[in-house]
Amino acid sequence: MNYKTTETTGVKNKKIQNNGQDKSEDVSQMSEVQTGLAKAKEASFLWRSLSFDARAKHMLAVKRLLIKNLDEVVDTVTAETGKISTEVVVNEVLVVSELISYYAKHAKEILATRKVSSGLLRHKRAEKRYEPLGVIGIISPWNYPLTLSLGPVSTALFAGNTVVLKPSEITPSVGVLIGKLFSQMSEYSDIVQVVTGDGKVGEELVRSGVDKIAFTGSVATGKAVMRAASDSLTPVLLELGGKDPMIVCSDADLDRAANAAVWGAFTNAGQTCMAVERVYVVKEVYDEFVDKVIKATSKVHQGTGGGSDIGAVTHQGQMQIIERHLADALSKGAEVVYGGSKVMVGNRPSLQPTVLVGVDHSMQVMTEETFGPILPIMEVEDVAEALWLANDTPFGLNSSVWTSDTSMADKLVSGLQSGTVCVNDCMVSYAMPALAFGGVKSSGMGRSHGPEGLREFSQLKSVAYDRLGVKKELHWLPLPKSLERSVRLALKMRHG
C-alpha cells in the first residue's frame, strides 16, 4: 500500500461542492484540518449518493484489505502501544471486522424509511427518514487505536457520511494506516481524511464546522470537547471513562468469576475503558475468591514475545496515575497480595499484574479511573451493600454480576446504573456488534454499535404528506364557525 496524506500546501482552486453548487476556493494556506475537511466535504456528495448496497461493497473491500495487510496492521499497533500481537488480532482486528460485516448486512434495514401513524389525521401520511449528517470529526484514543478509530469511521461511512479522523498523538501511525486503507478506493479515496497532532489539532477539528464530533477519551477532555462544540452547537457523541464494578454473589461459580476478573482487569495491561476496575465480593465467599484470583494471576505472563499474555503500559503519563493510585491505596491500609512491582516490558516502564485487598472507597483506586493492571477486591456484607457501592461513582459505563440465581441477576441488572451489564461474563458485550455500547452519568452520551450507533451518525427527518388534495383544510383560515364546537365534541369522545 502507498501512503495517502492530506497536504497542507499547494492545493489551489479546488472545487468544493456545497448544496449542489460548486465553489472555487484557494486552500493553499489552509491548515491540515481545514484541508482535510474541504476534501471530505467534496467527497461526501458522491459517497452519500451511493446506495446502501454500493457502500457495503466498498466497506467489505476495505475489510478484506485490512485482513490482507494483517501483519502490517499488527506490527504497527504493537510498535506504538506495547500490546502483544494476540491482543491486536483478537481485540482489535476481529472486533472491528465483525462490526463492518454486521453493518454491511443490516445498515440498509436499520436506516430504511419508516412509515408511522398520522394519529387523528387519517387523511395524512407520515414517515421517518434517516439521512447522512455530512462530515463527521472523529477523535480517537491510544488504548485501542485500531478498534476505536476504524469502528466509528466505518459506522459513519455506512450512514453515508465522510470522515476527518484525528488519532491520538501517542498512536498516530495507526491512524495513518487507516487512511492508507481507504486511499485505495479509487474515486472514493477522499472519504476518510486523517489529520495528526496534539490536543490543539483536536480542538481545531471540533471547531472546524464538521457536522458531528465523535470523541473517545477521558472525562476531562470530553468536557473540553463539549465546551468547544457548544460555540457552534455541533452535536457530540462521547465515550468517556469508566470505573466498572464486578459483583460476586455467594452462589457464583467462583472459578469462572475469578478467571474473568483476572482477564477483565489485566488484558491490555488494564488499559480498557470497560475493564474490571473494582470487585465487590460477599463475605461468605470472599477468602475463597481472593485465593482463586491470586492463583489465576500467578499464571499470567507479562512480556513482549510469544507466550506473553499481556504487554506493556502504553503511555507513561498513565503509568504515573497508576503508581499514584497504588501508593494512595497502600498509604490508607490496602495490601498487595500479588504483584505490585514496577517492571520493564520491552522499553516501557510498566506495573506487574497487581491484586489488592483491604480496599475501600476512601482510596483513589476504588473511585477514580486507574486504567492499569490493578485489581482491587473489597469484601461486603451482602448483595445490597455491593449494589450500593457499585453505584457510588460518577461513572456508569460497564459492569458485571456473578450469580447462579436468574432472579437475583435480573434485580442487579435493573439496579446497576450502567450503560451495559454482563451476567456471568465481563466486557464481552463490546464484541457483539448488534448490541449498543455507551455509558451513563460521566461515562458519556450517545451509543456506538447496533442500530443506535448507526443512527447516531444520521439525521432524522420527519415527513408529512397530504393524501386527499382538498382545496382547503378545516383548520385553515378563515376558521369555520363550527370548528371549536366540533373539536370540543371530538375531545370529549376521544380523550374525555
Alpha helices, DSSP H, located in 69-136: 70-81, 85-87, 95-110
Domain range summary for the chain, segments of one domain joined by +:
14-240+449-458, 244-432
Catalytic residue among 92, 204, 273, 368: 273
Looking at residue 301, the DSSP 8-state letter turns out to be -
Q: 454 pLDDT band (50/70/90 cuts)?
A: very high
Please provide the average confidence, as pLDDT, over all residues in the chain: 94
Give residue 337's pLDDT: 98
**Domain covering 244-432, topology:** Aldehyde Dehydrogenase; Chain A, domain 2 (3.40.309)
Distance of CA 242 to the CA centre of its chain: 12
* Average pLDDT for 42-68: 97
CA quadruple 20, 26, 30, 35: dihedral sign: positive
Q: 305 pLDDT band (50/70/90 cuts)?
A: confident
Catalytic residue among 32, 239, 379, 456: 239
pTM: 0.92
CA quadruple 407, 410, 416, 422: dihedral sign: positive
Beta carbons within 8 Å of 272's beta carbon, 6+ residues apart: 143, 144, 371, 427
Beta carbons within 8 Å of 114's beta carbon, 6+ residues apart: 127, 128
Active site residue 426: no
Give residue 29's pLDDT: 57
Give residue 22's pLDDT: 46
Residue 54 has pLDDT above 70, yes or no: yes
State the Cα–Cα distance between residues 151 and 149, nearest whole angstrom: 5
CATH 3.90.1150.10 matches 14-240+449-458: no
Lowest mean pLDDT among 26-40, 306-320, 388-402: 26-40
Paired residues of 335 in beta bridges: 357
Active site residue 273: yes
Give residue 10's pLDDT: 29
Residue type for position 241: G
Give residue 185's pLDDT: 87
The backbone region for 449, taken as left when phi is positive above 0, alpha when psi lies in -120 to 50, beta otherwise, is: left
Task: Round the CA-based radius of gyration of the chain to a whole number and report it.
Answer: 26
* Average pLDDT for 450-467: 98
Give residue 110's pLDDT: 98
Calculate what percentage of the chain has a pLDDT beyond 90: 93
Interstrand relation of 162-166 and 192-194 (parallel, antiparallel or unpaired): parallel
